[in-house]
């Protein structure tokens, strides 16, 4: 099942195929775990998030089907959201059905995955440090724009603009 397309794997998961579930895990566990670990900085907690996110796939594979975005991208976002919820010790703030995303990033093939990861990192490194740090504080640390403004001493509007600008630069560069 190593080379099976995401859609086919997901359909098999929907039929209760445990082998397909294992293949899905082999394909995307590294992405999900890395995001969770970056947010939580705790391997045990990141493992818990990893487990929870993949069990969501098993329990509700149709949630991914209805999300037409690439599965890898979807998983990365859901992993981040769950990790932030855990970090803030709050209940899950959204249902997996609610996370609809548009992404042209296909992470199914390992070489593509590696390429996209490298590209994302290169783009982020090229950003002005204050933009990158502000986005990291918001996305990976789950700090609100008020909290970021308090930490950095920047005006609220500046914080919001930096986050938005950083994402737009990333969007443009990823599609280039």
Tell which positions 132-171 bind another protein, by CB under 8 A. 133, 135-136, 138-140, 142-145, 160-161, 163-164, 167-168, 170-171
Helix (H) or strand (E) holding 123: helix 110-126
> Least distance from C-beta 120 to another protein, angstroms?
4
Q: Are 165 and 127 in contact (CB under 8 A)?
A: no
Report d(CA 81, CA 93) in Å as an integer: 8
Burial 21-49 (b: 16+ CB within 10 A, else e): bebbbebbbebbbebbbbbbeeeebbebb
* Residues of this chain, 73-102, that bind another protein according to CB under 8 A: 73-74, 76-77, 79-81, 84-85, 93-94, 99-102
> Least distance from C-beta 154 to another protein, angstroms?
14
Residue selected from 1, 4, 11, 30 as contacting another protein according to rule CB under 8 A: 30
> Least distance from C-beta 32 to another protein, angstroms?
8
Helix axis angle for 18-40 and 6-14, nearest 10°, is 110
> Least distance from C-beta 103 to another protein, angstroms?
4
Nearer Cβ to another protein (4/58)? 58
């Amino acid at each position: 099942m190593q080379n099976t397309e995401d859609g086919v794997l997901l359909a098999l998961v929907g039929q209760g195929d445990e082998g397909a579930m294992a293949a899905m895990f082999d394909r995307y566990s590294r992405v999900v775990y890395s995001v969770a670990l970056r947010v939580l900085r705790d391997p045990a907690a990141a493992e818990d998030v990893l487990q929870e996110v993949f069990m969501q796939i098993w329990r509700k594979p149709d949630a991914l089907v209805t999300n037409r975005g690439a599965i890898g991208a979807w998983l990365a976002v859901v992993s981040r959201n769950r990790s932030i919820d855990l970090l803030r010790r709050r209940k899950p703030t959204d249902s997996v059905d609610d996370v609809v995303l548009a992404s042209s990033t296909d992470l199914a093939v390992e070489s593509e995955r590696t390429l996209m990861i490298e590209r994302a990192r290169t783009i982020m490194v090229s950003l002005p440090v204050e933009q990158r740090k502000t986005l990291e504080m918001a996305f990976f640390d789950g700090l609100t724009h008020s909290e970021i403004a308090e930490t950095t001493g920047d005006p609220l509007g500046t914080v919001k603009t930096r986050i938005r600008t950083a994402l737009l630069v990333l969007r443009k560069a990823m599609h280039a």
